[in-house]
Amino acid sequence: MNEKALDGVRILDFTHVQSGPTCTQLLAWMGADVIKVERPGEGDATRGQLRDIPGVDGLYFTMLNHNKRSVTINTKTPSGLAVLDRLIQSCDVLVENFAPGALDRMGITWERIQALNPRMIVASVKGFGPGPYEDCKVYENVAQCAGGAASTTGFDDGPPLVTGAQIGDSGTGLNLALGIVAALYQRTRSGRGQKVLAPMQDAVLNLCRVKLRDQQRLARTHTLHEYPQYPDGRFGEAVPRAGNASGGGQPGSILKCKGWETDPNAYIYFITQAAVWPAVCKVIGEPGWMDDEAYATPQARLLHLGPIFRRIEKWTMTKDKFEAMEILNQYDIPCGPILSMKEIAEEPALRATGTIVEVDHPTRGKYLSVGNPIKMSDSPTEVTRSPLLGEHTDEVLGQLGFSPDEVAAMRAEGAI
Ligand code: COA
């Protein structure tokens, strides 16, 4: 086993569903010893959700809990709490994403944790930070809606839209992981733990930063030239939905490719980057556009983006998305195929880098998962399967100093 970045860090993982587990999974991939605490009998709700094989942990669970150990503890029993106390004393970080107040209701207050282990970092995901909604339970799509993503996603003539990317859950998990490693680093100097909070609304808004940029531009100029509403449509008071228009200064759009009539993913994203405009004109067979006043400058083109992309699409429709990609890449024209999940699952390059991994599981057999998206040259990731419910209870309790008789007694009273 190679040395890992977080070797020696022990995490008391009280997370469930998606946001928290993505955070602790990343930490486990970076070498932390992650001990997942679950309720006896049922465990993390995702073990039983969206099951594709009866009686077997769902992929929802297995794909979010690799490289962890599972311990069952009923924290609402005195002996369960006693086990938890010892875990708090022997871990560096407690990570949780319970509903607001749940940890306090268990009796695990910040004061209690501080008394047991002043070096402990307590890291939480909540739906909202302090404010009117701080007591609300939150799932992914609520965060997308409250964080500004839904109101700015979709088409002008349609309703707000949530995205398939789990920016509220997995996005917040990333923020929390960064907060934890920063707090661990600060602790090397201060000797103290601290609280780390990553609210989901804030995480989504952070990813929607360019839309807050546009809100202020709109308020000042009453228009947004790179949006599809310009020049013919009307702008209201809030940033409108921009369809597939590029969020940056280089206009782009999703265009049909050969086969679009039957294949829902026969499309390409095409960016008319200013630097390669002459090449775009050449490839699509409009050399006259290079010098034509209406098209020659980026400013002039903003008035004609609709017709420009329709003309480019006439060309992309003559090629399949991979052929188009190959031709456009020869001219350094930024573009990307719309890849289906099926195509991504079969992509050899993603397998080679460990971003798509095949994992073997004792009751499920082989399945695909997304590996560590962060690559470190001196801290390689080896993805190992998710634990069965309570698989490591005896092992961990033994390490905490409980005797086999004590463990048996706790099991008999339903505390573990
Ligand atoms: N032993 C005993 N009780 C346990 C336990 C254990 N090992 N683990 C959990 N529980 C109890 C909790 O104490 C809580 O009890 P309480 O309501 O009496 O305080 C109860 O289980 C339910 O926990 P809760 O977090 O409220 O789960 P939920 O299923 O009702 O809500 C969420 C799920 C995700 C909505 C909620 O946890 C939440 O809002 N989390 C913060 C935001 C978040 O992370 N959302 C994204 C999830 S992907």
Q: Ligand 1, atom 19: nearest CA belongs to which residue? A: 102
Q: Are strands 68-72 and 195-199 parallel, antiparallel or unpaired?
A: unpaired
Q: Convert the pLDDT of each residue in 144-198 to its tens digit.
A: 999 999 999 999 999 999 999 999 999 999 999 999 999 999 999 999 999 999 9
Q: Mean pLDDT over residues 345-353, rounded?
A: 97
Q: Ligand 1, atom 35: nearest CA belongs to which residue? A: 137
Name the residue of 98, 103, 125, 141 whose CB sits within 8 Å of the most ligand 1 atoms, as the mutation to test its pocket: 98
Which atom of ligand 1 is least distant from the CA of 15?
44
Q: What tokens appear for 407 in the block? A: 């463990």
Rounded to the nearest angstrom, the distance between the alpha carbon of 370 and the centre of ligand 1 is 26
Q: Convert the pLDDT of each residue in 384-414 to its tens digit.
A: 999 999 999 999 999 999 999 999 999 999 9
Q: Is the CB of 375 under 6 A from ligand 1?
A: no
User: 349-380 burial, b if ≥16 CB within 10 A, otherwise e?
Assistant: ebeeebbbbebebeebeebbbbbbeeeeeebe
Chain position carrying tokens 């009117």: 132
Q: Mean pLDDT over residues 213-233, rounded?
A: 94
Rounded to the nearest angstrom, the distance between the alpha carbon of 103 and the centre of ligand 1 is 9
Q: Which residues contact 366 (CB under 8 A, 6 or more apart)?
A: 358, 359, 360
Q: Is the CB of 81 under 6 A from ligand 1?
A: no
Q: Mean pLDDT over residues 241-264, rounded?
A: 94
Strand-pairing partners, residue 33, are 10
The number of angstroms, rounded, from the C-alpha of 42 to the middle of its chain's C-alpha atoms is 25
Q: Is the full-model pTM beyond 0.75? A: yes
Active site residues: 169
Q: Which residues contact 369 (CB under 8 A, 6 or more apart)?
A: 62, 63, 66, 356, 357, 358, 359, 383
* H or E element that contains 79: helix 78-90
Calpha distance 268→272 (Å, rounded): 13
For 2, other C-beta atoms within 10 Å of its C-beta total 10
Q: Is the CB of 201 under 6 A from ligand 1?
A: no
Among 9-13, 174-178, 214-218, 292-296, name the one with the lowest average pLDDT. Answer: 292-296
Q: Is the CB of 74 under 6 A from ligand 1?
A: yes
